[in-house]
Amino acid sequence: MMTQSSSSQFWLTRPFGERATQIFLGVLFAALLLVTVLHVALPQGHPLHVNAYTVNLFGKYLSYALLAVAVDLVWGYLGILSLGHGAFFAIGGYAMGMYLMRQIGDRGTYGDPVLPDFMVFLNWDSLPWYWLGFDMAWFAFAMVLLAPGLLALVFGFLAFRSRVTGVYLSIITQALTFALMLAFFRNEMGFGGNNGLTDFRELLGYNLRSNDTRLGLFIATGVALALGYILCRAIVTSKLGRVCVATRDAEARTRFIGYRVERFQLFVFVVSAMLAGLAGALYVPQVGIINPSEFSPIFSIEIVLWVALGGRATLYGAVIGAILVNYAKTIFTGVMPDAWLFALGAMFVLVTVLLPKGVAGLLLHLKRRKKSAALPKEATA
């Protein structure tokens, strides 16, 4: 059980004692390694060769997976069904996008050394203040975490202080992302409106259109996922994690034994938002565009669906769900472009009805079955 003490000195190292984490990290790193080897070592025509397109695709899935982990942290363990996590993801993405835009320099269409193209042709004469600093990588990368973190802090502070819970919280998170979407659609906001930010060229001096950079981003995303996972795992296996679960199930009761519930909620919410921001930042250079549609409420709902499908409150379930759904999307939209929504819809329905605890629940079930088959029946008196 979770209560088994570990001899570790530092709370972050606690998850390494867990079987599930070991397996997860093992599988993740094996997959990273495998893809890398198959991509680099095998020649183009080889049947097992993994091409850059696929590497790129999986890089994107991994960033989605990190996002799903962030959502599972607040939903699975804290009981906050956030229907607005896309906002944090998008803000992280925009922070990265702004950096990448500034990296274009004078190579843009209009050759303006400072202003991004969309500002030139809409007659902006100078960079708005909130774009300042984004030409520096360290600043931009800090903002990737700080901007979503700050938004989550302010929003969460208000909401948790007022004890907004349940669907009410869900709906205001949705209102948040919806409002941001509308705001970012506005050209006046200075984020490129509907067209968003595109035409990126390089990241930290690496050409974004080169396959090596893609591989690098893929690996970086994998590592970020691993770190994010470990962080979340460390949180949920700590006593704080149990306070979260207690809050999820009986918020008022948790207060009566002396926990300042709103602070715990705020802490975890902010951590989750920052992870989502990180995921967004890794996503943007891999797909080459960030636009306000990442703020759309439906996208945020979809994230929740990945988690639910994978299995809530397991973290690795979120990873499985995110990869599975998005892979299915990729496959279905290619194989049956006219009918893929039927397939995807059916998948959601069937998983819900047949696998009450998601795919992770199925795995757990299979494991238990194997275990109980291995042990001869114990006599129970």
Partner 1 sequence: MRRFFSLGLLCLLLLSVTVTAQAQTSATVEANDAAALELLNALDVRSYSAKGEAINAILQSDDERARDWLQSLLDGRLQRTDDGRFVVVLDNQGRDWPVADALTNEPLGEMSRRDLDRIGINNNLRNQLRSAIAVVDLYSPNVERRRISASRLLGEVDEELAEPLSQLIAEEEDAEVARRLTQALAIYQVESGELEGVETLRGSLHPRVRVALSRAANSDDPIIADAANEALSSIEQNLKINRGLETLYFGLSLGSVLVLAAIGLAITFGVMGVINMAHGELIMLGAYTTWMMQQLLPGQPGLALILSIPAGFMVAALVGIAIERGVIQFLKGRPLETLLATFGISLILQQLVRTVISPLNRTVITPEWMSGSLVINDALSLTLNRMFVLGFALVVFAALMLIMRRTRLGLEVRAVTQNRAMARSMGIRATRVDIMTFALGSGVAGLAGVALSQLTNVGPNLGQNYIIDSFMVVVFGGVGNLWGTLVAGLSLGIINQVLEPWAGAVLAKIIVLVFIILFIQKRPRGLFPQKGRAAEG
Partner 2 sequence: MSLLQSLTTRDRVFDFMAPQASPVDVRHGPILYMEDVTVSFDGFKAINNLNLTIDDGELRCIIGPNGAGKTTMMDIITGKTRPNAGSVWFGSRHNLLQMNEPDIASLGIGRKFQKPTVFEALSVFENLELAMAADKRIFPTLTARMTGEIKDRINEVLETIGLTELRYQPAGILSHGQKQWLEIGMLLMQRPRLLLVDEPVAGMTEQEMERTAELLTGLAGKQSVVVVEHDMGFVRSIARKVTVLHQGSVLAEGSMDQVSSDPKVVEVYLGADDEEAA
Partner 3 sequence: QDDDPIKVGILHSLSGTMAISETVLKDTVEMLIEQQNDAGGLLGRQLEAVVVDPASNWPLFAERARELLAQEEVDVIFGNWTSVSRKAVLPVVEELNGLLFYPVQYEGEESSENVFYTGAAPNQQAIPAVEYLINEVGIERFALVGTDYVYPRTTNRILEAFLKDEHGIADEDIMINYTPFGHSDWQNIVSEIRRFGEEGKPTAVISTINGDANVPFYTELSNQGIDAADIPVIAFSVGEQELTGIDTGPLVGHLAAWNYFMSVDTDDNYDFIDAWIDYTGDEEAVTNDPMEAHYIGFNMWAEAVRKAGTTDVDAVKDAIIGVAVPNLSGGYAAMMPNHHITKPVLIGEVQDNGQFDIVWQTPSTVAGDAWSDYLPGSRDLIADWRKPMECGNFNVVNGSCGGSTAAEEAEAALAE
Residue 261 or 323: the one with the smaller Cβ distance to partner 2 is 261
Among residues 246, 343, 344, 364, the one that binds partner 2 under rule CB under 8 A: 246
Return the exposure string of 212-246: e unless at least 16 CB atoms fall within 10 Å of the residue's CB, then b: ebbbbbbbbbbebbbebbbbbbbbbbbebbebbbb
Among residues 164, 225, 276, 322, the one that binds partner 1 under rule CB under 8 A: 164
Among residues 289, 301, 362, 364, the one that binds partner 3 under rule CB under 8 A: 289
**Binding track over 267-306 against partner 2, x by CB under 8 A:** x---------------------------------------
Tell whether residue 347 is a contact of partner 1 (CB under 8 A): yes
Among residues 98, 176, 231, 232, the one that binds partner 1 under rule CB under 8 A: 176
Tell whether residue 2 is a contact of partner 1 (CB under 8 A): no
288 binds, among partner 2, partner 1, partner 3, none (CB under 5 to 8 A by kind): partner 3
Among residues 256, 337, 354, 381, the one that binds partner 3 under rule CB under 8 A: 337
Whole-angstrom distance, CA of residue 177 vs CA of residue 167: 15
52 binds, among partner 3, partner 2, partner 1, none (CB under 5 to 8 A by kind): partner 3
Tell whether residue 378 is a contact of partner 2 (CB under 8 A): no
Q: Are 152 and 78 in contact (CB under 8 A)?
A: no
Tell whether residue 273 is a contact of partner 1 (CB under 8 A): no
Whole-angstrom distance, CA of residue 38 vs CA of residue 262: 48
- The partner residues of 289 in beta bridges, in order of sequence, read 198
Q: Which of residues 146-165 bind partner 2 (CB under 8 A)?
A: 157-158, 161
Q: What are phi and psi of 190, to 5 degrees?
A: 80, 25
Count of residues interacting with partner 2 (CB under 8 A): 33
Among residues 201, 242, 329, 357, the one that binds partner 2 under rule CB under 8 A: 242
Residue 20 or 42: the one with the smaller Cβ distance to partner 3 is 42
Q: Are 290 and 95 in contact (CB under 8 A)?
A: no
Secondary structure of 74-95 in HEC code, one letter for each residue: HHHHCCCCCCCHHHHHHHHHHH
Q: Smallest gap, in angstroms, from Cβ of residue 313 to partner 2?
A: 9
Whole-angstrom distance, CA of residue 97 vs CA of residue 122: 19
2 binds, among partner 3, partner 2, partner 1, none (CB under 5 to 8 A by kind): partner 2
Tell whether residue 42 is a contact of partner 1 (CB under 8 A): no
Q: Which of residues 301-330 bind partner 1 (CB under 8 A)?
A: 301, 304-305, 308-309, 312
The Cα-based distances of 276 to 193, 198, 228, 271 in angstroms read: 22, 21, 10, 9
Residue at token pair 């774009």: 131
Residue at token pair 């409420």: 297
Among residues 46, 107, 260, 367, the one that binds partner 3 under rule CB under 8 A: 107
Q: Are 270 and 152 in contact (CB under 8 A)?
A: yes
| Structure tokens given for 56 | 């790129």
**Which spans in the chain are helix H?**
19-40, 52-72, 85-104, 117-121, 137-161, 166-185, 211-237, 239-249, 251-256, 261-287, 297-310, 316-335, 340-354, 358-374
At 309, is the secondary structure helix, strand, or coil? helix
Tell whether residue 88 is a contact of partner 2 (CB under 8 A): no
Q: Which spans of this chain sit near partner 2 (rule: CB under 8 A)? A: 1-3, 5, 10-11, 157-158, 161, 235, 238-240, 242-243, 245-246, 248-250, 252-261, 263-264, 267
Q: Which spans of this chain sit near partner 3 (rule: CB under 8 A)? A: 51-53, 56-57, 60, 106-112, 118, 120-123, 182, 185-187, 192-196, 198-201, 207, 209, 283, 287-289, 291, 293, 329-330, 333-334, 337-338, 340-341
